[in-house]
Amino acid sequence: MAAGLLAATTPKPFHSFLSSHHTPKPTPIFHPLLKVKYGGRRKTSFAVCFMLEEQKQSDSRIVNLVEEGTEDVKDPQILIPARVAEKLARKRSERFTYLVAAVMSSFGITSMAVMAVYYRFSWQMEGGEVPLSEMFGTFALSVGAAVGMEFWARWAHRALWHASLWHMHESHHRPREGPFELNDVFAITNAVPAIALLSYGFFNKGLVPGLCFGAGLGITVFGMAYMFVHDGLVHKRFPVGPIANVPYFRKVAAAHQLHHSEKFNGVPYGLFLGPKEVEEVGGLEELEKEINRRIKSSKGS
């Protein structure tokens, strides 16, 4: 009849210190506490204790997040404030509006350019004699004007847009309100000489009209490429699809982003040769950082 108690416990009263609004979930923990000996056999019994977990996030914190309109909230149970939802809806509307304008202008300009080239050269060969010099001049000026526009844009960007015309170009360096900005006027001003040159070259025959037609065609090609890379790829005013995956265009976009950061006093001022400008001022390391940042950002979105 000898029962030996080897260990004993002293129960402690449990005091509730949490309100009914923050009822924690009890977590059971099993621990061997009592060992009772009956004759030659030992029997182990377990005492069950309960520990209280704190709530990971208080109700007041949730209320504060909702009131402040924090955009980094990941919990789907937390409602997005109305002003944030309104801002997102406005951004989507602006991108769609600019996308429609970009697509319509691109298809319109492209179709007119193709028809103009076709009809002009068909008219040139009506007499049976092919004007090789005129055709060569047209194609040469097309390429030359497209390349020359990069250097013109670099000079105008530095000497005009960031100087006497800053009151217009400043809209491009500030958060945009609406689908368009005052800086878009420069695209229209560049379109005026292109249309004039194309019109003169289209309605007239000869070497000089052929050169003018080629120059207008080159300006048009540069303007369309500038719109897709600068407005679409760099500033994400509309989606550009596979263009974003071209390695050199990634460098172009990163270089232009450095222009907006003003880390090198505004360099680069050009677009397609922007990486070369950054290299000349010793900014290759910053350029690589920006490229990697944009890649990570595109994968995360």
In angstroms, the CA 219 to CA 201 distance is: 14
- 14, amino acid identity: F
Cα separation, 168 vs 106, whole angstroms? 24
Q: Where are the beta strands (DSSP E) in the chain?
A: 3-5, 26-38, 41-52
Q: How far apart are CA 154 and CA 158, in angstroms?
A: 6
DSSP 267: -
Q: Measured between alpha carbons, how far is 263 from 267 in angstroms, rounded to an integer? A: 8
pLDDT in tens, 127-184: 667 778 888 889 999 999 999 999 999 999 999 999 999 999 999 999 888 888 999 9
User: How much is the average pLDDT of 65-92?
Assistant: 57
| DSSP string of 236-261, one letter each residue | -SS--GGGGG-HHHHHHHHHHHHHHH
* pLDDT of res. 170: 94
Name the percent of the chain lying above pLDDT 90: 38
User: Could you say which DSSP state residue 54 is in?
Assistant: P
In the chain, count H helices and then E strands.
9, 3
DSSP 25: P
Give the position of tokens 């076709």: 118
Asked whether the CA dihedral 194, 197, 203, 205 is positive or negative, the reply is negative
pLDDT at 106: 64
Other C-beta atoms lying within 10 Å of the C-beta of residue 172: 16
Q: Label residue 229 by pLDDT band (50, 70, 90).
A: very high
In this structure, the strands spanning 3-5 and 26-38 are antiparallel
pLDDT tens digits along 15-65: 444 444 444 444 444 444 444 444 444 444 444 444 444 443 444 443 344
Higher pLDDT, 234 or 13: 234
Residue 265 pLDDT > 70, yes or no? yes
Q: Which helix (H) or strand (E) holds 296?
A: helix 284-300
- Reduced DSSP (H G I as helix, E B as strand, rest coil) percent helix, strand, coil of the chain, to 5: 65, 10, 30
Instruction: Give the HSE-up count for residue 189: Cα atoms under 13 Å, Cβ half-sphere.
Output: 9
Residue 1 confidence class, pLDDT cut points 50, 70, 90:
very low
Identify the pLDDT of residue 117.
Answer: 79
Q: What is the pTM of this model?
A: 0.65
Which helix (H) or strand (E) segment holds residue 119: the answer is helix 82-124
Residue positions counted in the chain: 301
CB of 201 closer than 8 Å to CB of 216: yes
192-205 per-residue burial string, b: 16 or more CB within 10 A, e: under 16: eebeebbeebbeee
